[in-house]
Amino acid sequence: DDGSYAKTLLNDDIHQVNADKIGITRKQVKTVTYSMLYGASDGKIGKSFDPLLPKKQAVEKGKEIRAAYVEAIPGLDKLLASVKEATARGYLKAIDGRRVLLDSQHKALNYLLQSTAAVIAKRWMIIAHENIKELGIEAHQLGFIHDEIQLETLPPNVKTLCSSLVYSAAEAGEYYNFRIRIDAESKSGHSWAATH
């Protein structure tokens, strides 16, 4: 699609864009999106759309929503076909080249997305530490939680450290030739509650 979907992800509210294409509310499409990404069945997708639907109608509604969703997102059908092939093979190739073993087709897309996010996040941490060292900032890592790096430093270093972390995230995506820019935000504060 010549990068149009990437532009939408970066510049628009992707959930609203998808809701408009599919003809359901933003809240519903957000629930459906995460249900599909985590491998939900048609029935589960139908129930996430309307919890009061009887089982048979939930399955039918889920199929309808899934088809509309795949139709609405350019290239999703090809991605799902590739994931299906990887499942038949028993593994998929992660962004860093390692094999991710697949035990079920309904989990395969989630494995692909989660492994990609984890690899990029860990690369972000490595690059961040290299950049911090290069800048000569004294900083200590306190934690790495999912996709969040927690560091401590002296007050005069905060602004430079925060900028470096944001730039390091973009570098992590570039490291793997990721076709969409990896963004990050940084916050400073005196507690995890203030920065989380």
Domains (ranges, CATH) in the chain? 4-74 (no CATH), 111-195 (3.30.70.370)
| CA neighbor of 171 nearest in space, from 121, 137, 135 | 121
The per-residue pLDDT for 93 is 95
Segment 53-84, tens digit of pLDDT: 999 999 999 999 999 989 988 888 999 999 99
Q: How far is CA 1 from CA 8, 11, 13, 74, 75, in A?
A: 11, 16, 18, 7, 8
- pTM, 2 dp: 0.84
* Contact status, residue 96 vs residue 172, Cβ threshold 8 Å: no
| CA neighbor of 36 nearest in space, from 13, 17, 63 | 63
Average confidence (pLDDT) per 10 residues, the chain, 196 residues = 80 89 88 88 91 95 92 89 94 95 91 94 97 96 93 96 96 94 93 87
The DSSP output letter for 183 is P
* Contact status, residue 144 vs residue 129, Cβ threshold 8 Å: no
Segment 169-185, tens digit of pLDDT: 999 999 999 988 899 99
What whole-number distance in Å separates Cα of residue 117 and Cα of residue 173?
A: 10
The per-residue pLDDT for 169 is 96
